[in-house]
A and B are shown apart, each in its own frame.
Chain A
């Protein structure tokens, strides 16, 4: 009964490279959420997706960031041309149609 799986756990990129973060929701969950957390801060909502649809991306920066949740496979959060300010922990959560969100253990992104 696996929980939300995120990989990689740690990702190091140089400025200007692309970062791809993956999230496999819990079995039976069709709703995925991405959050960003800076050290000593709370979680900031980025985007909410259902299969093949972006429902709410109001927390996502307009440039360089994109997210998808394809019919098959994990949800992907993609950051293009990364900058130092993108360094953070990125958490994914999933839920069934309604209900409590269950979180993965995050991907810690470091930008050199």
Chain B
């Protein structure tokens, strides 16, 4: 079946370093991808999105890269801060009649001060 998965379940980085969180997706028909951040005790928060007609999109300290050839998505966080510690989910959806979102299992990012 279609699924979205992550390569690494946990990631520890030193404060100030860059973080890279990877995601694989299997549905080649998916054309809209979203990264969410979930802090403990809270709901997922939108970070950044990218459509399939793009291969890179930048936000504030975050960059999402999309490689459609290998169905791979990554989230790069520059100068990682303690406040970035959270679980990060990639999600995929399509331009169908509604926005059903399929989430990957998540990567837990821990920032070491």
Contacts and interface: CB of A to CB of B under 8 A. Distances in A.
Say what secondary structure dominates the interface of chain B: loop
Contact of B103 (A4, A43, A104): A43
Say what secondary structure dominates the interface of chain A: strand
Chain B contact residues (Cβ within 8 angstroms of A): what range?
A: 10 to 19
Interface string B96-111: 0011111111100000
Contacts, number: 50
A43 B89 contact: yes
Contacts of B101: 33, 45, 93, 101
Contact of B99 (A42, A43, A95): A95
Contacts of B105: 41-42
A56 interface: yes
Interface of A: 4, 31, 33, 35, 41-45, 48, 55-56, 91, 93, 95, 98-106
Interface of B: 34, 36, 41-46, 49, 89, 98-106
